[in-house]
Amino acid sequence: MAKGGGGSGVSPAPPRGQVYLPEWRRLYDRLLKMLREEHALAEELSIERAHLAAELELQRIGRREREEIFQARIQQIWRDEERRKRVEKAERAVLIGGKDLESRCYQKLVELGDSDAEDFRSFIATLTAENSELKAKLKEFESQAQFNENSVDHQQSGKDLRLELRKLKQAYKNLSSEKDKQISALNAEKDFVWNQFKTMEQDYIVTIKSKNIEAKQATEAAQKLQKNVDELQVAAQKKDDEIDRLQAEVTTAKEKMLLLEDELKQMHSLVKGKDVETGKNKDHQSETSRKSKKDINKTNRKSKSEGPVSKEKLRTSQVTPDRIEVKTSRTRAAETSQKRKRGSSLSCGSRRCSTRPLQVKAAVSPMLLPPSFTVPRLKTPTPP
């Protein structure tokens, strides 16, 4: 009866196999849950940081490869352009040299034709002079023939002179016709050379126009190439800005990781302090339970000797230390809850837990973390 009365004064009897968790145990579970969440968040952040670092490295490698490819293309384009310019210059020089050679040849031919024509004119002048001399001689012979026409010798000499005159006229005609043919051939050759010279001049003008057009097109191509180079430089600048932004994100992630590591260290220190405090509470509870058992045994012995009046006093004496113990445990639980609220406000804030009863072993002392649990040390990656 005494035992039943003392127990009803402390707390209601829990169901068989279950006990209601005290406040410090609920705070312990809450803190453990917060630590696990922080640990999971730290692992996620470390994985995300590794992914960001890998992505940043891949982007840097890709940008470097693209820049090398673009530089190689630009160098190849410049080399091709320089080679094309040299080839065009050589072709132009060869073409101009060939045209100059042809023009000089034609000029030489024209000069030769002019000299031949001058020689032909001088030859014609000499022929006309000889012809005039022959005509003068012929007139002299005719005058002499008129004086000596009665003699036979004079008749014979006149016939010879006429025959010689006919021969000379025939030779003059042949020579004049041959010279006319030569003059006409030289004139035709001169006209042909002049036409060829005009044709070459027109071809040269057309070639110069085409070369000017090609030079203009080459200038436009160079301008387009310069524009492409500027666009590539702008794209490279954008990539650099993106890399700077990613590096800034990585630095912020590192700072967050450092903050989380500090919070984990603080939580770990709080957990260690709580373990020490729970050990002290357990020792104190064991001492108070021993004292209460001794008091109960004493009261039972006294109750057997004193009677029913002493039983009532015993009940009051049994209730009083239990109530004192409950008050002390409540004050300690309130202090520990305040400390835990302060520690939890550093990371995520206090969270409410359900107050449903859980099955626990009363004989086993609660452990805050398993023995194999260690605070994860995050590796800070070296900046690229």
Give how far Cα 100 sits from Cα of 94, 105, 107, 195, 198, Å. Answer: 10, 8, 10, 16, 13
**Residue ranges, the chain, pLDDT below 50:** 1-11, 309-314, 316-327, 345-366, 368, 378, 381, 383-384
What integer pLDDT is reported at residue 155 of this predicted model? Answer: 58
In the chain the first and final C-alpha atoms are separated, in Å, by 78
pTM score, whole prediction: 0.31
What integer pLDDT is reported at residue 227 of this predicted model? Answer: 85
CA distance 99 to 106: 10
CA distance 296 to 309: 16
Residue reference for tokens 């230390």: 321
Contact 182/120 with Cβ under 8 angstroms?
Answer: yes
Could you tell me which of 99, 31, 70 has the C-alpha nearest to residue 229?
70
Contact 265/376 with Cβ under 8 angstroms?
Answer: no
CA distance 213 to 201: 18
Contact 344/27 with Cβ under 8 angstroms?
Answer: no
Give how far Cα 375 sits from Cα of 31, 262, 271, 350, 371, Å. Answer: 15, 11, 12, 21, 12
Q: Pseudo-torsion of CA 80, 83, 84, 87, nearest 10°?
A: -160
β partners of residue 358? 19
Contacts of 34 (CB under 8 A, 6+ apart): 267, 344, 347, 348, 351
Structural domains in the chain, sorted by start: 27-345 (1.10.287)
Identify the three-state secondary structure at position 259. Answer: helix
| Position 157, amino acid | S
Could you tell me which of 25, 26, 29 has the C-alpha nearest to residue 37?
29
CA distance 219 to 277: 86
Query: DSSP string of 300-312?
Result: HHHHHHH-HHHHH
Contacts of 278 (CB under 8 A, 6+ apart): 24, 28, 365, 366, 368
Six-digit token string for 355: 């107050």
Q: Pseudo-torsion of CA 281, 284, 290, 292, nearest 10°?
A: -90
